[in-house]
C-alpha cells in the first residue's frame, strides 16, 4: 500500500507539471482530454465483433476483460524528463520511463499489466501486457486533439482488434 501511495503521489506531481526538459515525446501535448465519441470508433462494438467467434464458454469473460481495459472517457497525459505520465479517468495513474523497464499497473484486482512506453518521433506508444492479451496504444497530437490508435492481440482472437479514438483537449 505504501508503494501505491508513493507512486500515486509521484504521478500526481508529474501529471500536474507542465515544464520539463525536452524528451523524445515532446510532440505529444500534455493536458487533459475528453473522448470525442462522434469522431471515434466505437471500441466496444469492435471488441464485440472481434470476439464473436470465441467459444460461448469463454466469450463473456474475454469481452469483459477487454472492455474494462479500454473503457476511457478522459485522459490526462504529461511528458517530462524522459517520462510519460498517464491517467485514465479516475484510475491509478501510470508513470513510466520512455524506453525503460516495464512497470506493473493494476487496473482492477483481476487486470494487472506490465506497462512500457516508447517514443518514436511525434508518437508515444504504451504497451500493456497482461495474462491473455497485449494492447498497444499509440498517441499523437493533431492540433488540440489527442489521437489514440490501439491494437489488441491475444491468442484467443483470430485477428487483432484495431480501433481509433479522438480526444479533445479540455485544459
Q: What is the CATH number of the domain that holds 32?
A: 2.40.128.20
How many domains in the chain? 1
User: Quick one: pLDDT band at residue 25, thresholds 50, 70, 90?
Assistant: low
Note the helical H segments in 23-133.
Answer: 43-50, 59-70
Burial of residue 137 (number of CB atoms within 10 Å: 0-12, 13-18, 19+): buried
**C-alpha–C-alpha distance, residues 107 and 87, integer Å:** 11
Domain, as residue range, for 60: 2-17+25-169
The answer to pTM > 0.85 is no
Q: Return the half-sphere exposure (C-beta side, CA atoms, 13 A cut-off) of residue 15.
A: 21
The CA R_g of the chain, rounded to the nearest whole Å, is 16
Q: What is the pLDDT of residues 66-116, one digit of tens each?
A: 887 777 899 999 988 899 999 988 888 999 999 999 999 998 888 899 999
Amino acid at each position: 500500500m505504501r508503494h501505491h501511495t508513493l507512486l500515486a503521489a509521484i504521478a500526481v506531481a508529474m501529471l500536474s507539471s507542465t515544464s520539463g526538459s525536452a524528451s523524445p515525446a515532446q510532440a505529444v501535448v500534455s493536458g487533459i482530454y475528453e473522448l470525442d465519441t462522434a469522431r471515434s470508433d466505437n471500441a466496444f462494438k469492435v471488441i464485440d465483433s472481434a470476439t464473436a467467434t470465441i467459444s460461448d464458454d469463454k466469450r463473456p469473460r474475454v469481452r469483459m476483460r477487454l472492455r474494462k481495459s479500454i473503457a476511457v472517457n478522459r485522459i490526462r497525459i504529461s511528458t517530462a524528463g524522459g517520462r510519460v505520465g498517464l491517467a485514465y479517468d479516475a484510475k491509478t495513474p501510470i508513470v513510466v520511463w520512455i524506453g525503460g523497464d516495464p512497470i506493473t499497473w493494476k487496473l482492477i484486482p483481476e487486470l494487472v499489466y506490465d506497462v512500457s512506453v516508447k517514443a518514436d518521433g511525434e508518437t508515444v506508444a504504451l504497451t500493456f501486457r497482461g495474462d491473455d492479451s497485449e494492447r498497444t496504444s499509440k498517441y499523437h497530437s493533431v492540433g488540440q486533439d489527442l489521437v489514440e490508435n490501439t491494437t489488441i492481440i491475444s491468442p484467443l482472437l483470430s485477428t487483432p482488434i484495431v480501433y481509433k479514438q479522438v480526444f479533445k483537449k479540455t485544459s
